[in-house]
Amino acid sequence: MFKTLLKHVKNYSLPSILTPVCMILEVIFETIIPMCMGLMVTYGIEGNDNTGDMDYILKMGGIMVILVIGALVSGILGAVFGSVASCGLAKNLRKDMYENIQSFSFSNIDKFSTAGLITRLTTDVTNIQNAYQMLLRMAFRAPVSMIFALFMSYLVNVKIANIYLIATIFLSIGLAIIMLNARKYFSKVFEKYDDLNETIQENVNAIRVVKAFVREDYESEELKKAAGNIYKMFVKAENVVIWNSPLMQFTMYVTMIFISWFGAHLVVSTELEVGELLTLFTYCMNILGNLMMFSFVFVMLTLSAASGKRIAEVLNEDSELKDPENPVYEVKDGSVQFKNVCFTYKKGSGKNVLNNINLDIKSGETIGIIGGTGSAKSSLISLINRLYDVTEGELKVGGVNVKDYSMESLRNQVSVVLQKNILFSGSIYDNLRWGNPDATDEECREACNLACADDFIESFPDGYNTRIEQGGTNVSGGQKQRICIARALLKKPKIIIFDDSTSAVDTATDARIRKSLKEAIPGTTKFIIAQRISSVQDADRIIVMEEGEVNGFGTHEELLANNEIYKDVYESQTGANADFDEMKGGAI
């Protein structure tokens, strides 16, 4: 994991090296200052016979000013380099994660969930950024400073330095116990953050549904619960961490009492100068303070390890779908063959979503697909443009196995209007050109004409330049579906798939769209998934899906004659006692 993350420091390795160097310089300057102060008191103020030596004081004062400026400058530089390096790392991580996510297949995305990916891109990266900055600035500075101060104390007086050593060991053990306990709670906090993010993401995304079902109170409760859990965990963790300060103070004051007592004795017996005692006091604060700082760095690093792991998972995730070595770039025609195809979303976990599918579809045919919700209609068509790979069997498009195509070429030739379609913020033109970036205004209008979208678009005050809000919330469901159809048509594909794409369009417009498609693109293979028999009955052939299997495949007449399911659905939708079933697939 560390290796993966470190690789992304890349062009920020210079500041990453300079930061600890500056911090160590600062330590060196800082540690010499108390020494000078001691000397100043010993030789400057007290002098040989308590007369004082002004020249010596001025000389030492001068050196101390230079040291302070040195410490200040290296401290500032260290902070600047540290920020540059850590922000740079965060930038690189986000960019590389984002690029890798773009290459993910649908099954990769299923694995992480959208909420999970967003948390990893935002909160987790911020954690790593803070931890990295802390690491560069403190992880070297604190121990170096501590050891240096300890070393200097030994130079001044061995007996007193021994007291420091004992105090340091005592405090280290105390801090370690506290931090190990706190870590337990802190890592739980991070797990709870995931819950919180999921609740927020889900409900903000679905805010319209929440309002429509008057579930605001319930959803607020859910959030309160998630936030409350984090609160509880944090309080627990802080209750442990809070002992840091008393422990530190206790050790420091006890040490000081000891030093004062011993020191006084030593001074009286002229083993120690007053100036030296002063120096030792300063080092005392220095050593114990740094130890405390180091324990914080330690906790911070162990905590961010969880974030690092989550980031590394995204960075190291290989797309399950890859282009073959020598891909085929041309899709010859729009024929599709399924040969003994089985498919499951989770490999090796029991039940297949699709079972033993055998279909032979000629180029240019119009194929209707009908079946209850969950009968795997969407799963069936998502294999054709390789959003998922078949688990068993073989699927050919244009006579070539889909795995042999370059994915880009295949998807350019197989256009899908997905059941859950999304428009992006931007003008209608912008959205249409997702289908084909080079499409002229004329071509865009033509596609909209075919999709019966021109009427309503032209009635907008800004026409084709109307801005679509994020997620397409300012157009109706039926309008959105028609813009999506036009967008798919602009690709001029060999195969076009409509997954319940006209469910929110009225029956008459639905018929008009089908008629204009039949006339305008006769050579294109069309798959039409629908809930309404009327949407598929004039297709060349119709597939009846049931529980992941093909229950019937034939023309409307054939199926009416010998397919029970088809007959039932037909009768329920057209008979005298039609129960308005055709509305079932209505606006989603």
Give the residues lining the site for ligand ADP (CB under 6 A): 110, 345, 353, 371, 373-379
Check residue 406 for interaction with Mg ion (CB under 5 A). no
Minimum Å distance from CB 545 to Mg ion? 10
Check residue 481 for interaction with Mg ion (CB under 5 A). no
For residues 213 to 252, the per-residue mask of contacts with Mg ion, x marking binding by CB under 5 A and - elsewhere, is ----------------------------------------
Check residue 419 for interaction with Mg ion (CB under 5 A). yes
Please name the residue ranges forming H helices in 269-356.
Answer: 274-316
Q: Of ligand ADP, Mg ion, none, which one does residue 375 interact with (CB within 5 to 8 Å by kind)?
A: ligand ADP
Question: Please, is 364 exposed, middle or buried when counting C-beta atoms within 10 Å of its C-beta (0-12, 13-18, 19+)?
Answer: middle
Q: Of ligand ADP, Mg ion, none, which one does residue 552 interact with (CB within 5 to 8 Å by kind)?
A: none
Check residue 546 for interaction with Mg ion (CB under 5 A). no
Minimum CB distance to Mg ion smaller for 419 or for 509: 419
Minimum Å distance from CB 388 to ligand ADP? 8
Minimum CB distance to ligand ADP smaller for 255 or for 385: 385
Check residue 378 for interaction with Mg ion (CB under 5 A). yes
For residues 93 to 112, the per-residue mask of contacts with Mg ion, x marking binding by CB under 5 A and - elsewhere, is --------------------
Minimum CB distance to ligand ADP smaller for 219 or for 582: 582
Kindly compute the dihedral angle of the four CA atoms of residues 262, 266, 269, 275, in this order, to the nearest 10 degrees: -140
Q: Of ligand ADP, Mg ion, none, which one does residue 379 interact with (CB within 5 to 8 Å by kind)?
A: ligand ADP
Which 8-state DSSP code applies to residue 9? T
Coil vs helix vs strand at 497: strand
Q: Which of 31, 61, 41 is nearest to 267 (CA)?
A: 41
Cβ–Cβ under 8 Å, residues 489 and 416? no
Minimum CB distance to ligand ADP smaller for 378 or for 535: 378
Check residue 372 for interaction with Mg ion (CB under 5 A). no
Q: Which residues pair with 361 in a beta bridge?
A: 336
**Residue 64 CB partners (closer than 8 Å, separation 6+):** 33, 36, 37, 40
Name the maximum alpha-carbon separation found in the chain.
Answer: 123
Minimum CB distance to ligand ADP smaller for 349 or for 459: 349
Q: How far apart are CA 21 and CA 248, in angstroms?
A: 28
Minimum Å distance from CB 562 to Mg ion? 26
Minimum CB distance to Mg ion smaller for 92 or for 378: 378
Minimum CB distance to Mg ion smaller for 286 or for 378: 378
Q: Please give the structure tokens belonging to residue 271.
A: 């083993």
Q: Of ligand ADP, Mg ion, none, which one does residue 374 interact with (CB within 5 to 8 Å by kind)?
A: ligand ADP
Minimum CB distance to ligand ADP smaller for 275 or for 548: 548
Minimum CB distance to Mg ion smaller for 450 or for 569: 569
Q: Of ligand ADP, Mg ion, none, which one does residue 316 interact with (CB within 5 to 8 Å by kind)?
A: none
Cβ–Cβ under 8 Å, residues 37 and 279? yes
Question: How far is CA 379 from its chain centroid?
Answer: 26
Return the amino acid letter for 385.
N
Minimum Å distance from CB 352 to Mg ion? 17
Q: Which of 459, 502, 455 is nearest to 482 (CA)?
A: 502
Tell me the Cα Rg of the chain. 36
Q: Which of 416, 388, 573, 585 is nearest to 503 (CA)?
A: 585
Minimum Å distance from CB 499 to Mg ion? 6
Return the amino acid letter for 253.
Y
Residue 385 sits at φ, ψ, to 5 deg, of: -100, 20
Which 8-state DSSP code applies to residue 376? S
Q: Please give the structure tokens belonging to residue 495.
A: 């195969």
Minimum Å distance from CB 547 to ligand ADP? 9
Minimum Å distance from CB 373 to ligand ADP? 4
Note the residues at the interface with Mg ion (CB under 5 A): 378, 419
